[in-house]
């Protein structure tokens, strides 16, 4: 026991003495949190629009002003020909072209049907879909108003309509930050824990100290425990630190119990540290270890459900996600922080992490050999 404590002490001395490591541990997470939370957003704001109004009628202006009134759109140009508008899109100045053909109002009145054209830059398919949906909504709304105006001029109140009003649960203001912070916190502790543990034992290999350690009577389990616990403590501290920043700066809700968050984090970190340790035992240089860690990290993060919903991935990917520890923990964090889920709600995910931790640490200990 004394041995483990001393190894832990030694690791801490080394971490705090490493002038390049300290910023990685303490500054990087804050910067990441600040940048990612503000930048990684799917909300569509400020869609630049060029309106080609060839009709120049009351109705066409009414439609244009509906777009103008929406907070999402910014009409930055109103050229008189389609070619001009297309040139703007080619340059990347506008994301959407709204073309109102000549005779728009006339057709509307005489034929009761008319056309407008929407051209959306779909290089980013997801945002194009959103722009399309928003725009279609505005046009439908416009349509409905015209219908009411023309059918019942002057007696608006006479019509009975079913009003639908949506309310969004768990994130009533559809605040993207609220949704992102729990996930990004997971990302932070994962990066720190995986990199630190993945590079640590391999560092001892690189500088040759592992030789000296291996000839001592120290037990595998003592050595590994002495190696993992310091990083576990650092990562837990990091999570606490991130939560404080999230609360103070982004005012994220923490609906559930903090204890439950930290309990899950405790188990989750053992999975990640075990992973790092396993990488450490299988590589020979810090560089190799970094690259391998990086590979796993990118795959895990992109498939974690942080940015894209796991439910919309193909079935094979969803199956593959069963071994993605990030997916479990991000889900737990969102459930506990935003929904206020209790242990009973997350127990399945929690036990999955426990099993994962036991498996991966056993594997790492088995792989770590003192004899070549």
Partner 1 sequence: MAVSVDVQNLSKNYGDVEALKEISFSVKKGELFGFIGPDGAGKTTLFRILATLLLADSGTATVEGFDVVKDYRKIRKIIGYMPGRFSLYQDLSVEENLTFFATIFGTTIEENYNLVKEIYSQIEPFKTRKAGKLSGGMKQKLALSCALIHKPEVLFLDEPTTGVDAVSRQEFWEMLKRLKAQGISIIVSTPYMDEAGLCDRVALIQDGSIMQISTPEKVVESYPLELYTVDSADIYRLLHDLKKLPGAASVFAFGQSAHLSFQKGKLSREGVLDYLSKTGHKEVQVKPVKPNIEDCFMELMQKG
Nearer to partner 1 among residue 11 and residue 55 (C-beta) = 11
**How near is the Cβ of 4 to partner 1 at its closest, in Å?**
10
Packed helices 325-334 and 258-282: angle between N→C axes, nearest 10 degrees: 170
**How near is the Cβ of 13 to partner 1 at its closest, in Å?**
7
| Footprint (CB under 8 A) of partner 1, residues 11-40 | 13-14, 17-18
59 token code pair: 């109705």
DSSP letter, residue 339: I
Coil, helix or strand for 371?
Answer: coil
Nearer to partner 1 among residue 124 and residue 209 (C-beta) = 209
CB contact at 8 A, 245 and 33? yes
**How near is the Cβ of 207 to partner 1 at its closest, in Å?**
7
Nearest-5° angle of CA 329, CA 245, CA 302? 35
CB contact at 8 A, 41 and 176? yes
Q: Is residue 371 a contact residue for partner 1 (CB under 8 A)?
A: yes
Nearer to partner 1 among residue 10 and residue 247 (C-beta) = 10
Question: What Cα–Cα distance (Å) separates residue 110 from each residue in 39, 106, 113?
Answer: 48, 6, 8
Residue from the set 43, 141, 145, 211 that interacts with partner 1 by CB under 8 A: 211
H helix runs in 164-219, sequence order: 176-207, 209-214
Q: Provide DSSP, 120-179.
A: E--SSHHHHHHHHHHHHHHHHHHHHHHHHHHHSTT-GGG----------SSSTT--HHHH
Q: Is residue 1 a contact residue for partner 1 (CB under 8 A)?
A: no
Residue from the set 38, 65, 209, 342 that interacts with partner 1 by CB under 8 A: 209
Part in contact with partner 1 (CB under 8 A); list of ranges 7-15, 41-49, 338-346, 360-368: 7-15
**How near is the Cβ of 5 to partner 1 at its closest, in Å?**
9
**How near is the Cβ of 7 to partner 1 at its closest, in Å?**
7
Q: Is residue 3 a contact residue for partner 1 (CB under 8 A)?
A: yes
Distance CA(15)–CA(25), nearest Å, equals: 9
Nearer to partner 1 among residue 5 and residue 126 (C-beta) = 5
137 token code pair: 């909504």
Q: Is residue 215 a contact residue for partner 1 (CB under 8 A)?
A: yes
CB contact at 8 A, 116 and 138? no
Residue from the set 10, 106, 220, 367 that interacts with partner 1 by CB under 8 A: 10
Q: Is residue 136 a contact residue for partner 1 (CB under 8 A)?
A: no
| Footprint (CB under 8 A) of partner 1, residues 257-296 | none
Residues found near partner 1 in the complex (CB under 8 A): 2-3, 6-7, 10, 13-14, 17-18, 207-218, 370-372
């Amino acid at each position: 026991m004394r041995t483990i404590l001393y190894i832990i002490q030694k690791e801490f001395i080394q971490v705090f003495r490493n002038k390049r490591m300290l910023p990685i541990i303490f500054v990087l997470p804050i910067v990441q949190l600040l940048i990612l939370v503000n930048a990684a957003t799917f909300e569509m704001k400020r869609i630049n629009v060029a309106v080609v109004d060839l009709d120049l009628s009351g109705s066409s202006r009414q439609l244009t002003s509906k777009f103008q009134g929406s907070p999402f759109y910014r009409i930055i140009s109103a050229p008189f020909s389609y070619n001009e508008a297309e040139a703007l899109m080619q340059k990347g100045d506008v994301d959407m072209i709204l073309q109102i053909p000549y005779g728009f109002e006339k057709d509307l009145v005489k034929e009761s049907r008319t056309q407008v054209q929407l051209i959306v830059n779909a290089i980013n398919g997801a945002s194009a879909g959103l722009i399309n949906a928003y725009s279609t909504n505005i046009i439908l709304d416009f349509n409905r108003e015209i219908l009411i105006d023309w059918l019942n001029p002057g007696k608006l109140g006479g019509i009975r309509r079913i009003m639908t009003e949506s309310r969004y649960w768990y994130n009533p203001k559809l605040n993207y930050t609220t949704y992102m912070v729990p996930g990004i916190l997971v990302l932070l502790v994962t990066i720190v824990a995986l990199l630190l543990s993945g590079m640590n034992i391999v560092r001892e290999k690189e500088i040759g100290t592992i030789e000296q350690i291996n000839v001592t009577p120290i037990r595998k389990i003592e050595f590994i425990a002495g190696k993992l616990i310091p990083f576990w403590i650092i990562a837990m501290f990091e999570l606490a630190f991130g939560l404080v920043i999230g609360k103070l700066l982004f005012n994220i809700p923490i609906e559930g119990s903090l204890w439950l968050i930290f309990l899950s984090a405790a188990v989750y970190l053992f999975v990640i540290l075990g992973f790092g340790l396993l990488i450490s035992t299988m590589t020979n240089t810090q560089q190799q270890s970094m690259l391998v860690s990086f590979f796993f990290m990118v795959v895990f993060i992109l498939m974690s459900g942080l940015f894209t919903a796991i439910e919309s991935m193909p079935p094979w990917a969803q199956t593959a996600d069963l071994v993605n520890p990030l997916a479990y923990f991000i889900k737990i964090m969102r459930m506990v922080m935003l929904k206020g889920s209790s242990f009973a709600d997350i127990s399945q995910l929690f036990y999955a992490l426990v099993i994962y931790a036991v498996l991966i640490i056993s594997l790492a200990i088995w792989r770590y050999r003192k004899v070549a």
